Amino acid sequence: KAGVTQTPRYLIKTRGQQVTLSCSPISGHRSVSWYQQTPGQGLQFLFEYFSETQRNKGNFPGRFSGRQFSNSRSEMNVSTLELGDSALYLCASSLRNPRTDTQYFGPGTRLTVL
Amino acid sequence: AQKVTQAQTEISVVEKEDVTLDCVYETRDTTYYLFWYKQPPSGELVFLIRRNSFDEQNEISGRYSWNFQKSTSSFNFTITASQVVDSAVYFCALSGGGNNRKLIWGLGTSLAVNP
């Protein structure tokens, strides 16, 4: 079974631009969560999508948004990029079964904002 | 509020030594889940283990073992006879039992296993 895939793997953008990251979950997984990883803040939860609906949201500004499609693939968008948005963005998928739920992660997209 | 603390920032050992990574958590939930993930230099987070709050059995998987103690809110991870390939950053994480699936992470412990 293929794992979680994320594209692109690397991105370089300049301040003020916007960016879209893509995540394809493990087949059969309908929940997709996004996390930001930086050296200063560590791993922080951005949001979770399930059945095309945002279920939970972390403490990030409105410039960070996402969506999920009917095939469970998810995209994350960051508008008006700031230098501090430089990070590794990780996507995770799960079955969202309360008693056995485990999030499996993709390789991440490394975003550099210049 | 939920919190995960990994007090050890960096650990360096020589190959074949045993090493224990500490994890202490805080939560008011009666049902919660604890996890360990490994992040090698490639960056991908690799799932190692999940433990439910209602299951305090310790677990051994090959060279890896986990000690879950609710009385001290700890979920420690031991690698026996460490190998160079174990070098990575190890994260402990916590999620609640309700509808919120977000993982709360510790800051990670960077383990270097030297030959």
Q: Residue A103 in contact with residue A72, Cβ under 8 Å?
A: no
* A contact residues 39-58, partner B, Cβ 8 Å cutoff: 42-45, 48, 55-56, 58
Contact B102 A105 (CB under 8 A): no
> Residue type at B67?
N
Confidence band, pLDDT 50/70/90 cuts, at residue A99: low
Tell me the per-residue pLDDT of A15-39, one tens digit each, with 9 for 90 and over: 999 999 999 999 999 999 999 999 9
Output DSSP code: residue A101: -
Contact B44 A98 (CB under 8 A): no
Average pLDDT for B85-106: 90
**Least confident span in A43-52, A86-95, B94-103:** B94-103
In B, which residues are within 8 Å of A98 by CB distance? 97
Average pLDDT for B93-111: 89
Average pLDDT for A58-87: 97
pLDDT above 70 for B64: yes
Written as one string, the DSSP assignment of B28-52 is --SSEEEEEEEE-TT---EEEEEEE
What average pLDDT does chain B have?
93
What average pLDDT does chain A have?
94
pLDDT above 90 for B100: no
**Is the preceding omega at residue A8 within 30 degrees of 0, hence cis?**
yes
- The length of chain B, given as a count of residues: 115
Average pLDDT for B46-69: 88
pLDDT above 80 for A53: yes
* pLDDT at position B84: 96
- Per 3-state DSSP, chain A is made up of helix, strand and coil in percentages (nearest 5) of 5, 55, 45
Tell me the per-residue pLDDT of B74-89, one tens digit each, with 9 for 90 and over: 999 999 999 999 999 9
**Gap between the Cα atoms of A54 and B12, Å rounded:** 41
